[in-house]
Structure 1
Amino acid sequence: MTVTERADAARQWRAFFADPEYPRLVGGILTEQRTRAELAALDTAVELSPGTRVLDLGCGQGRLSVPLAARGCEVVGLDGSAALLAHARAAADAAGVRIEFVHADMRDLAHADRFDVVLNMGTAFGYAPESDHQPTLAAVRRALRPGGTLLLDTENRDRMVRADRRISFDRAGTTVECDRSYDPYTGRWHEVLRWRHDGRTHRAEYSLRLYTVAELVAALRSVGFTEVDAWGDLAGTPYELDSPRTVLRARAAG
Structure 2
Amino acid sequence: MAWYDNFFNGLVQEAWNAAQTDEQTELECDFLNDVLELQPGQRVLDVFCGHGRHALELARMGYAVTGIDISAESIEALRKAAKAEKLAVETHLGDFLTVPPGDGFQAAYCLGNSFSFFPHDQMLAFLRKIAESLVPGGRFVADTAMVAESVLPDFQERNWMQIGDITFLMENEYDIHESCINAQLTYLRDGQTLQRMAKHYVYTMAELQRLFTQAGLILTDRYSSLDGSDFLLGDERLLLIAQKTE
Q: Is the structural similarity TM-score above 0.5?
A: yes
Deviation of the 1:94 alpha carbon: 2.9
Q: Which runs of 5+ in 2 are unaligned?
A: none
Task: List aligned pairs for 1:1-254, cutoff 5 A.
Answer: 7=1, 10=2, 12-18=3-9, 20-111=10-101, 113-155=103-145, 156-161=147-152, 162-254=154-246
Amino acid at match of 2:233: L
**Cα distance in structure 2, aligned partners of 1:107 and 1:222:** 17
**Cα distance in structure 2, aligned partners of 1:102 and 1:89:** 10
Of 152-161 and 51-60, deviating more is: 152-161
Q: Look up the SS of the partner of 2:8 in the other structure.
A: helix
- Identity fraction in percent: 27
Deviation of the 1:129 alpha carbon: 4.6
Contact 1:213 1:230 survives alignment (8 Å)? no
Q: Look up the SS of the partner of 1:107 in the other structure.
A: coil
**Cα distance in structure 2, aligned partners of 1:35 and 1:202:** 27
Q: Look up the SS of the partner of 1:16 in the other structure.
A: coil
**Cα distance in structure 2, aligned partners of 1:154 and 1:178:** 17
Deviation of the 1:122 alpha carbon: 1.2
**Cα distance in structure 2, aligned partners of 1:213 and 1:65:** 28
Contact 1:27 1:172 survives alignment (8 Å)? no
Contact 1:187 1:209 survives alignment (8 Å)? yes
TM-score (norm 1): 0.89
Q: Look up the SS of the partner of 2:6 in the other structure.
A: helix
Distance 1:169 1:251, change over 3 A: same
Deviation of the 1:83 alpha carbon: 1.9
Amino acid at match of 2:173: S
Contact 1:127 1:209 survives alignment (8 Å)? yes
Contact 2:151 2:236 survives alignment (8 Å)? no
Contact 2:26 2:57 survives alignment (8 Å)? no
**Cα distance in structure 2, aligned partners of 1:170 and 1:142:** 40
Deviation of the 1:237 alpha carbon: 1.1
Q: Which runs of 5+ in 1 are unaligned?
A: 1-6
Alignment root-mean-square deviation, CA: 1.8
**Cα distance in structure 1, aligned partners of 2:109 and 2:220:** 15
**Cα distance in structure 1, aligned partners of 2:58 and 2:128:** 25
Deviation of the 1:144 alpha carbon: 0.4
Give aligned pairs, total: 244
Amino acid at match of 1:119: Y
Deviation of the 1:48 alpha carbon: 1.9
Q: Per-residue CA shift, 1:133-175, capped at 9, x if unaligned? A: 1111111111100000011111143222323211211012222
Q: Look up the SS of the partner of 1:169 in the other structure.
A: strand
Deviation of the 1:190 alpha carbon: 1.9
Amino acid at match of 1:51: G
**Cα distance in structure 2, aligned partners of 1:223 and 1:204:** 32
Contact 1:232 1:240 survives alignment (8 Å)? yes
Contact 1:180 1:189 survives alignment (8 Å)? yes
